[in-house]
Amino acid sequence: MQLIEQLWPEVERTRQLDAPHLGPLSTTFLISMSMPIINLPIERIERRRSNEAGAYADDRHIDAEISAAVDRELGGQAFSRARFYREGEWRFVTTSRSPLPNLANALPDEIVDQLESDEAASAASKMSTSQWCGILRNALAHGGIAYLDVYGRSSYGSPVAMLLFGSGRYDRESGELVGVNLLRIKQSDYRAFLHRWVAWLSDSGLSALFAAA
């Protein structure tokens, strides 16, 4: 987070050489820097709840109180109760309609409208924090990210204003892709969210745990 804040003024002055009209490279920088901020605590603690044998990157055993704090915050409670949640920032839509959206293509108008709705904001507040962090983790880990303009549409030829995180839903028996979960947030709100996420990591002791490791 310190790197993000101290380097941000320089990032805002840096533009893609062959496409300066697309604005500063702040989106690329923000996504790149946020990957370890989000995924390390999720992967090394929250995703280790099953305590599977042979886990090779498992911090849960180091401090039981920290693990319990993660369980409380990232467990089954409503996302709206999380300390890093702010009303209206996130939008959540899940779809199983055929054809399923491919984030490599332009976002369908139907999905754009759904993500803009009050229902999508309400759905985000009511989803479990565990589901929210699972979608965000999967999107960051597997490239399920789409870049949207100020109108929430695919940003081809326009500066990025919003981020869309997508995570597939698969049939447990066949392994077939049966749906897609989508989270949307403004880029400015995502940066503000990272501040609150890092503050929670620090207050819970997680940041010190990773530094000690």
Q: 26-44 vs 187-204: helix axis angle to the nearest 10?
A: 30
pLDDT recorded at residue 195: 95
Per-chain mean pLDDT for the chain: 86
Q: Evaluate whether 90 touches 184 at the Cβ level (below 8 Å).
A: yes
How far is Cα 29 from Cα 36, in angstroms, rounded to an integer? 13
pLDDT tens figures, 69-83: 667 777 778 999 999
pLDDT recorded at residue 64: 59
pLDDT recorded at residue 201: 84
Task: Give the residue from 89, 37, 8 showing the smallest Cα distance to 198.
Answer: 37
Checking if the pLDDT of 212 tops 90, the result is no
How far is Cα 66 from Cα 147, in angstroms, rounded to an integer? 34
pLDDT recorded at residue 22: 87
Give mean pLDDT, residues 100-105.
Answer: 90
Give mean pLDDT, residues 24-29.
Answer: 92
How far is Cα 34 from Cα 163, in angstroms, rounded to an integer? 13
pLDDT recorded at residue 61: 54
Q: What is the pTM of this model?
A: 0.85
